[in-house]
Amino acid sequence: MSCPPDASGRRDYLAAHVLPALDVRPFIGGAFVEPRTDATFAVGDPTTEQALVTMPAAGKADVEAAVEAARSAFDEGPWPRMSPSERGAVLNRLAGIIDRDLEDLALLESADAGKRFQGVRAWDIPHAATVYRYYAEWAGRIYGDTLPPAGPVRVSTQREPVGVCAAIIPWNFPFACISWKMAPALAAGCTVVIKAAERAPLSAQALASRFAEAGFPPGVVNVVTGAGDVAGAALASDARIDKITFTGSAETARSITRGSSWRMPRLTTELGGKGANVVFADADLDAALDATTDAVFDLSGQNCCAAGRTYVQREVYEEFVGRLVKQARSRRLGDPLDDSTQQGPLIDRDHLRTVSGMVTQALDDGARLLTGGSPAELGGLFYEPTLLGDVSAGDRISREEVFGPVGCVYPFTDLDEVVALANDSDYGLSASVWTSRPGTADSFAERVRVGTCWVNCFGYFLPYVPWGGVKLSGNGHDLGREGIEAFLSTKVVYRAP
C-alpha cells in the first residue's frame, strides 16, 4: 500500500501500517533484543502532542552490550577485513533500500520530528541515500603512501579504521545526520553504535530494521535509544569507544568531552550556530527575500544554520524588512503531513517555553517586535514567525541560538562594519551574503569566520562538500573527504632489508 496524498490519510496509514511494523527494542549484535532495563519513554508527535510509541530507555547495561557487540565485530568480525568493494556494495544496497522505502521513512521522520513531509520526502531521505552511495565509492580510495627511504630502510604509511565509533544523533535532522556519521565510518571499516535522538528516534529504529537486508554482519551497526545523560553519558565514557561523533548543543558537547576526557578518544562535534545573513543594497532583493524567509523560518527555525541575525544595508533596510515582515505574516502554519503547510510545530513543550522565554526577555531588554512574538493561535506547539528589530549586539537574543522561528534584523553601513558584526559571535558555523558585486562577495567570504559561506544562495548541503564550523560551532567536519578522514588513522611502517 502506498502512502496517501492527504494529511488525514497519512496519519491513518502511519497508525495502521508503519508504526505496527516498527520494532522499538535495542538493535544489538545484528538483531532486536530485549532491553536490559525497565525504563521507558514516550515518543510524541509534536503536531498532536499524542504519543506515537513507547520505547525502552537504554541504561548502562544496554549501552555496554551494544559497545561489546561493536567491539567484537571490529576486533574479530569480517567487516574491517572485507575488500573495499564488498563494503561499498553493502552501503549501496542500503541506499537502494532507502530509495525503495522512501515514503514510509519520510512519514516516520515527519511525524516524529514535526518536519514537513513534503520536505523530508524531497530532501532528507534521498539525501541520506546519496551519502551512502558517495561513501561506498570512498571505500576503494583509502590508501597510504610510499615515502623516501632512509638509506636501506623503506618507509611507508597505511590508513586504517580508527575502531569502534559512537555516533550521537540530533533530533532535528536525525535520518540525514545518521548517514553523515555512519556512512564514512563504515566505508573506512569501523563499527558503530548509534545513540538515537531521544526526541526523534523513530527513523533510526526503522533504519536498523533494514541493516540485515542490506548485508551488514552482526555487530557492525548497533542502535540504542534513551536519554543523553544516561545512554549518551554511558557511551561517551566507555573505554572501548575509539571515536565519538556528535551533533547537538555546545552544553552537551562539554558533557561528552568531560565524560570521555580520561581516555581521550577522537572527537568530532557540530554544535550549532548563530548565522549571519547579509543583504547589500545592490543585491537581487527578491532572491534575498525568499532565501532569508527560508533561512529564518524553515523547520520552525530548528536548524543549526538558521539565519538568526540578518543584516541589511541602510539604503534598503526599511524596504527589505517591511517585505520580510509581510512574508513572515503570510506563512501557513499547520500539520506537517499536509503538503500546503509551510511551517510546523516546535519539537516539544519544553522547547516552546524556551523559545517564548527568549523572545519575552528580548522585548524586556528593549527589542522592537516587528511581527509574531507569541505562541500561534493554532495552539499546540506552534509558534508565530517572529522578527525583532532594535536589538543590541550584546543581548542574549543576539548571542545565543534560539532554535525557533525567530530572527533579528539589524542595519549596517558598509562592508567593514558588517564583517565585524558578523564575526561578533561565539559561533562560526555558516553565513550568507547577497550582493551583485563579486569583489564585495569575495571579500566578505574571505573575512567572515565561519565553516561555510553561501554567496547569493543559501542552504546547500552536498555529500562531497565538508560541513563543520569554528569557535563554538564545533571541531572537525562531516561529509566530503574530511568526513572519512575523521574515521581513519595513519600507521607508519619502517622496513629494513
Tell whether 477 and 443 lie within a shared domain: no
Residue 475 CB contacts under 8 Å (≥ 6 apart), including other chains: 267, 268, 269, 468
Residue 468 placed within a domain: no
Tell whether 308 and 457 lie within a shared domain: yes
Q: What is the CATH number of the domain that holds 307?
A: 3.40.309.10
Tell whether 294 and 242 lie within a shared domain: no
Tell whether 202 and 346 lie within a shared domain: no
Parent domain of 484:
7-271+473-494
**pLDDT values of the chain reduced to their tens digit, one per residue, 497 residues:** 688 999 999 999 999 999 999 999 999 999 999 999 999 999 999 999 999 999 999 999 999 999 999 999 999 999 999 999 999 999 999 999 999 999 999 999 999 999 999 999 999 999 999 999 999 999 999 999 999 999 999 999 999 999 999 999 999 999 999 999 999 999 999 999 999 999 999 999 999 999 999 999 999 999 999 999 999 999 999 999 999 999 999 999 999 999 998 889 999 999 999 999 999 999 999 999 999 999 999 999 999 999 999 999 999 999 999 999 999 999 999 999 999 999 999 999 999 999 999 999 999 999 999 999 999 999 999 999 999 999 999 999 999 999 999 999 999 999 999 999 999 999 999 999 999 999 999 999 999 999 999 999 999 999 999 999 999 999 999 999 999 999 999 999 999 99
Rg (CA), the chain: 23
d(C-alpha 278, C-alpha 288), whole Å: 9
Q: What is the CATH number of the domain that holds 146?
A: 3.40.605.10
Residue 216 placed within a domain: yes
The candidate with the shortest Cα–Cα distance to 105, out of 131, 82, 80, 129, is 129
Tell whether 308 and 411 lie within a shared domain: yes
Tell whether 429 and 446 lie within a shared domain: yes
Tell whether 171 and 228 lie within a shared domain: yes
Residue 57 DSSP code: -
Active site residues: 270, 304
Tell whether 379 and 488 lie within a shared domain: no
Residue 1 placed within a domain: no
For 276-293, give one letter per residue: b (16+ CB within 10 A) or e. Answer: bbbbbbebebeebbebbb
Cα-Cα-Cα-Cα dihedral sign, residues 449, 451, 456, 458:
negative
Residue 415 placed within a domain: yes
Tell whether 153 and 262 lie within a shared domain: yes
Q: Scanning the structure block, which residue is given the C-alpha cell 521522520?
A: 109
Tell whether 190 and 303 lie within a shared domain: no
The candidate with the shortest Cα–Cα distance to 253, out of 283, 273, 233, is 233
Residue 467 placed within a domain: no
d(C-alpha 231, C-alpha 224), whole Å: 8
d(C-alpha 63, C-alpha 195), whole Å: 9
Residue 2 placed within a domain: no
Q: Is the pTM of this model over 0.95?
A: yes
Residue 190 placed within a domain: yes
Residue 392 placed within a domain: yes
Provide the domain count of the chain. 2
Tell whether 229 and 288 lie within a shared domain: no
The candidate with the shortest Cα–Cα distance to 165, out of 272, 238, 257, is 238
Tell whether 397 and 441 lie within a shared domain: yes
